[in-house]
Structure 1
Amino acid sequence: MKQKMSLAQKVNILRASVMGANDGIISVAGIVIGVAAATQNPFAILISGLAGSLAGTISMAAGEYISVSTQKDSQKMALAVEGQRLKNDYASEFSFVKQKYLDQSIDPELAQAATQQLMDKDPIGTVVQERYGFNPREYTSPYDAAIASFISFPIGSVLPIVAVTISPVHLRIWMTMLAVTFMLIITGYTAAVLGGSDRWKSAFRNVIAGLITMLITFVIGQLFAH
């Protein structure tokens, strides 16, 4: 039976989904605007958007799987190293954990009692948490991360494809940019909420990144316009 995900794991998957959708919006918007700047052929614009969406979906899912798998391998290695350290020199590992609490200005007697209790209950989990900053019982699944990206990237890419397809020819590029900008504010803000960072600053950075991407591809498209 699959273990129930913790809140931290759920937040990580949700964050991967939001960023996957965000990448889908920016990447495909750049593609369709570049092509739209070069040609008014709606079929060419649509095919380029769909091809970019497909390629980006596969690339994003594979990238998430590889990235999270590498992180998980590193965490397993840390567990193995700490397990060996505990066997070879338990006292040093105990002192390390205690010192971490003392560095937080915790009363020495309380630090000793807390360390003793935690090390008695789960020595390797305690040491790993304090030394490496992750909970060894809360791995993020590479499969979950890959699936989240595989679903969210094409969902995000739908917006620029639809916007550039249904807009009037003379407003096609500007209406697509406007729709994309609006969505980038939402995804940037949401990512900041999940990550605990400044929300409007994150949204602003996200919009700037998207606008720069679209501007560059627009200029390139104009160079080959016919």
Structure 2
Amino acid sequence: MGHTEIHRAQRVGWLRAAVLGANDGIVSTASLVLGVASSGANPHAILVAGIAALVAGAMSMAAGEYVSVSSQADTEGADLSRESEELSADPEQEKAELVAIYVERGLDPELANTVAQQLMVHDAFGAHARDELGISKTLAARPVQAAFASAGTFSVGAALPLLVVLLFPPSTFILAVSGGSLLFLALLGSFSAKVGGAPVIKAAFRVTFWGALAMALTAGVGALFGVAA
């Protein structure tokens, strides 16, 4: 019988980076547009500020994700290298470690010993990476994937408030960008929850609430230090 269960853990890496990128793109760009618009700046200045936010934000997201996930990958690589050396130096001790892990998880000692023995023969390194270190192919750090996912989705997210700026008259910028961005955030939260198998309403509310707070604070700062008066 084939394996028909659908699991979503393999999506964790790219989904986290993608949602983070899109959320930051919408929130940061919309907040900046609202702040500049609230200060009384002209439409051209608002659009230029938004485009600059898109480019700078996408590069920042890509660099930040790549550096942070690379650090995780370096740590995983160091742990795997050490584990490989320990397996070569003292395989019996490493087998005993597996036995102890399986006993702690609920197997009786005899069965745990049998399982550990068979795994040591089949793929000792893979067994220790997975069961001792918690490192697997599914959840392994992928810096390039994370960087591209964050930068790409940030750009898409940031483009949405800018599209509103292009389509609506200057007199409605604040209302249109606010409403449109909250709608985009709600859709993003719902989509990410659907893909990840999480409660949709809770995720949509969480994303929308924090986005609304960020935009309100930035608009307030723009109005406080505005140049229109």
Normalised to the residue count of structure 1, the TM-score between the two structures is 0.87
Q: Distance in 2 between matches of 1:101 and 1:136?
A: 21
Question: What is the letter of the counterpart of residue 208 of structure 1?
Answer: F
CA contact under 8 A between 1:125 and 1:136: conserved in structure 2? Answer: no
**Structure 1 equivalent of residue 187 of structure 2:** 186
Question: Are the counterparts in 1 of residues 12 and 139 from structure 2 also a CA contact under 8 Å?
Answer: no
- Matched residue type, 1:35: V
Match of 2:36 in 1: 35
State whether residues 34 and 218 of structure 1, in contact with CA within 8 Å, keep that contact through their aligned partners in structure 2: yes
Aligned residue identity for 2:202: K
Unpaired stretches in structure 2, ≥5 consecutive residues: 1-7
Deviation of the 1:112 alpha carbon: 2.0
> Shift in Å at residue 31 of structure 1?
0.6
How far apart are the structure 1 equivalents of 2:198 and 2:107? 28
Give the aligned partner of residue 4 of structure 2: none
User: Conserved in 1, the CA contact under 8 Å of 2:9 and 2:138?
Assistant: no
Specify the alignment match of 2:216 in structure 1.
Answer: 215
- Work out the CA distance in 1 between the residues paired with 2:206 and 2:150: 21
CA distance in 2 between counterparts of 1:138 and 1:123 reads 19
CA distance in structure 1 between the aligned counterparts of 2:99 and 2:47, rounded to whole angstroms: 61
Give 1:86-165 correspondences, 5 Å limit: 86-135=87-136, 139-165=140-166
Aligned-partner SS, 1:132: coil
Question: 1:29-108, aligned counterparts within 5 Å?
Answer: 29-108=30-109
Q: Distance in 2 between matches of 1:34 and 1:94?
A: 61
State the partner residue of 2:207: 206
Once residues 14 and 55 of structure 1 are traced to their aligned partners in structure 2, the CA distance between those partners, rounded to angstroms, is: 22
- CA distance in 2 between counterparts of 1:32 and 1:80 reads 48
Distance across 1 between alignment mates of 2:195 and 2:125: 29
- The one-letter code sitting in structure 2 at the alignment partner of 1:73 is D
How big is each residue's C-alpha offset from its partner over 1:10-43, in whole Å with a ceiling of 9 and x where there is no partner? 6522442232122111110111010111115110
Structure 1 unaligned runs (5+)? 1-6
**1:207-226 deviation line (CA, Å, top 9, x unaligned):** 11111110111001101221
Q: Within 2, Cα distance between the matches of 1:206 and 1:40?
A: 28
Distance 1:219 1:121 in 2: 63
* 8 A contact 2:36–2:46 mirrored in 1: yes
State the secondary structure of the residue aligned to 1:122.
Answer: helix
In structure 2, relative to structure 1, the CA distance for the partners of 1:137 and 1:151 (3 Å cut) is closer
Q: Structure 2: how far apart are the matches of 1:200 and 1:119?
A: 46
Alignment check: 8 A CA contact 1:54 1:154 kept: yes
Q: Write the deviation string for residues 82-125 of structure 1: whole angstroms up to 9, x where unpaired.
A: 11222333223212212222222223333222211111111122
User: Aligned to 2:106, what secondary structure does the other structure show?
Assistant: coil
Distance 1:93 1:17, change over 3 A: same
- Secondary structure of the corresponding residue to residue 204 of structure 1: helix
Secondary structure of 2:136's match?
coil
Assess if the C-alpha contact under 8 Å between 1:189 and 1:203 holds in 2: yes
